[in-house]
Structure 1
Amino acid sequence: MNFIQSKRPGINVYAAFTTLFAIVMLHSCDTTKYIFSTSPVVPAAEGSVKVKKDKNSNYNIVLDVNNLAEPQRLSTAKETYIVWMETEQNGSKNIGQLKTASGLLSNTLTSSLKTVATFKPTGFFITAENDANIQYPDGQTVLSTGMRQ
């Protein structure tokens, strides 16, 4: 069998593909995904949190939740949902208020939150509260990524 070899200088396509694949795989390893457990308070709600460490050692947090009922419709009506981040050294931190809204072409309630934290998260939970500016969780936990009760 004779193989024809090109006389043109060029890059080895296999080596380039392998290098690109390795870079993509290493880059994707920086992302951690947390899944919310099924909620006894709002059973239809489901969601996840993606956390990615950036080059400045900050943590980019993207939370998405679907089918989370308005907090006023809970058995004990509340004003808002608060997202909490759990950390090893700094306890639970209020990272933002979660608003629910339906899409233009769908009645599905969706909620999202994007933020940046300097502390490494170990878990997340959402509580129903009457005040968005609280520093410690006081209301009922409606969703959690861990064993928090």
Structure 2
Amino acid sequence: MKFIKLLSIAVILSVMTSCSETIKFPVSKIAPAADITAEVKKQGEPNYLVTLEANNLASPERLEPPKKIYVIWAVSAAGVVRNVGHFTQENAEKSTYKASFPYQPVEVFITAEDEEGNCFPAGVEISRAILVKPNRD
């Protein structure tokens, strides 16, 4: 009986984790110590939960030139770029972002900006990751 319970738990956990994909951002030339990852989980049609985590990301005020905030941008399959939020600083070493999207983002990038509410990226790009590989039809 214990074996069946353990096996059931293992199957459930593997199914839950197989629905998400973790993508590692490339090393940034602007903030090379930053270790940035994105996890994308399908929440149901058509929603996707996107979680970004940045470890050792320098404060934007320490950049040259100094900036005020790190803004997160998502690109849709149609090529539309949207300002989807900014990093929340949990401590000096870790920044996080979590949001639900009504579409599957194909690309996410981070910029250092002077203002949070920009409609278009104007600051320096920190890093960019492709979340969905293009079809080769």
TM over 0.5: yes
Residue 13 of structure 2: aligned partner:
24
The one-letter code matched in structure 1 to 2:71 is: I
C-alpha distance in structure 2 between counterparts of 1:79 and 1:91, whole Å: 25
Three-state SS of the structure 2 residue aligned to 1:25 is helix
What is the TM-score with the length of structure 2 in the denominator? Answer: 0.81
Paired position in structure 1 for 2:123 = 139
The answer for the alignment partner of 1:5 in structure 2 is none
Output aligned runs, 1:101-116, within 5 Å. 101-102=90-91, 108-116=92-100
Counterpart of 2:106, as a letter, is T
Match of 2:106 among 108, 122, 137: 122
Counterpart of 2:65, as a letter, is: T
- 1:6-21 equivalences under 5 Å are 20-21=9-10
The alignment's TM-score, normalised by the length of structure 1, stands at 0.75
Three-state SS of the structure 1 residue aligned to 2:67 is: coil
* Rg (Cα) greater in structure: 1
Q: Does 1:70 align with 2:59?
A: yes
The number of aligned residues is 130
Structure 1 residues without counterparts, runs of 5 or longer = 1-11, 103-107
Runs of 4+ in structure 1 displaced over 6 angstroms?
A: 12-16
Shift of 1:26: 3.0
Cα shift at 1:68? 1.0
Shift of 1:145: 1.6
How does 1:26-65 map onto structure 2 within 5 Å?
26-65=15-54
110-119 vs 92-101, which moves further: 92-101
- Unaligned runs of 5+ residues in structure 2 are 131-137
1:79 is displaced (CA, Å) by 1.3
1:81 and 2:65 are equivalent in the alignment: no
Q: Work out whether 1:92 is the aligned partner of 2:76.
A: no
